Amino acid sequence: MKRRVLIFSLLIICLTVSKAYPFWIWSPKSGKWVNPKTAVKPDPKDQFVYANDLFEGENYKEAKREFKKLLTHYPRSLEAAESQYYLGLIEEKVDNPYQAYLEFQKVIDKYPFSERIQEIIEREYNIAEAFMSGEKRKVLGVTLPVENPAIEILYKVIENSYYGPLAPKAQYKLGLVLKGLMRYYEAEESFNKVISNYPKSEWVEPAKYQIALARAAVSRGPDYDQGATQEAQEKFATFIEEHPDAVLSNKAEDNITELKEKEAESNYNTARFYEKQNKSEAARIYYGDVIGNHPNSPWAAKALERLHIMEKAK
């Protein structure tokens, strides 16, 4: 009788446990109740194969969980680095490029001897280019109004592979991003690093041209900077002299013409200011500069006209 009561009690307990914990199952091997969601395979190789099968089946949510289990239970295994790499692939698959970059970077930071390093650097560079093309940074699916993440990623690409094949290109592209954000002095610094750190790179020539463009952009700002305009002209002129056959040299000449036009306009406006202030001598100097240094500019004709008016007014 007592034995029947004991068996009945055990059955009640089992039924209660199974209802209370529907995700738990009995493991004869361990002699314990285990939860499949937290259980891990007996060795890292089996765990990786299981996670990879889920990945190949495009079950990315479950695969992500299984790769993370491997990292938690077997952090020093050979499969750990590969699991971390696959976490980056998963984020790429689900269209979360910034998180993919973060996961890939962990491979470089934690497993620097991984055979995937060069491939990861290339993937990071491609992610940066996606952000340069307009990709928005998202966290949990929400687009954040932040500055272009390409800056952060390109810095890492350069750091990860300072003398690698992608470094000079990444350095140049970093300058382009900064210039696009109107951070002209930082852009110049980045382009100068292309020239100084990678003097034999194919990106040296366009970097020199971009430096001149950055200088020109500063001169076109709301506060006209004549010094910046002259510097930009000098840099364009130097570029043409050093690369006379380059396709960009024609564009450089167009930029010089535009900058000279801007300089002529500025000097003309300065002369008009002095004229209105009844400072005739200063006005004549600036009008004369426009006529002498920019004779083909339409501002030269206007300056000459103002000088005639000033002479008649004497």
pLDDT value at residue 272:
80
* Domains and their CATH numbers in the chain: 1-39 (no CATH), 41-161 (1.25.40.10)
> pLDDT band for position 21 (50/70/90)?
very low
Mean pLDDT, residues 279-291 taken together: 73
The number of CA neighbours under 13 Å toward the Cβ of 41 is: 15
Of 255, 163, 266, 166, nearest in space to 209 by CA:
255
Cβ proximity of 174 and 158 under 8 Å: yes
Ranking 101-105, 178-182, 273-277 by mean pLDDT, the lowest is: 273-277
pLDDT (tens digit, 9 = 90+) per residue, 136-157? 666 555 665 567 899 999 999 9
Reduced to 3 states (helix: H, G, I; strand: E, B; else coil), residue 309 is helix
Ranking 82-91, 187-196, 253-262, 266-275 by mean pLDDT, the lowest is: 253-262
pLDDT (tens digit, 9 = 90+) per residue, 157-173? 999 988 889 999 999 99
> pLDDT band for position 215 (50/70/90)?
confident
pLDDT (tens digit, 9 = 90+) per residue, 82-93? 999 999 999 999
Amino acid sitting at position 79: E
Mean pLDDT, residues 204-223 taken together: 77
Angle at 73 (CA atoms; ends 71, 76), nearest 5 degrees: 65
All residues at 6 or more sequence positions from 307 whose CB lies less than 8 Å from its CB, including other chains: 284, 287, 288, 291
Return the residue matching tokens 């950055």. 214
Rounded to whole angstroms, the Cα distance separating 175 from 39 reads 48
Higher pLDDT, 111 or 246: 111
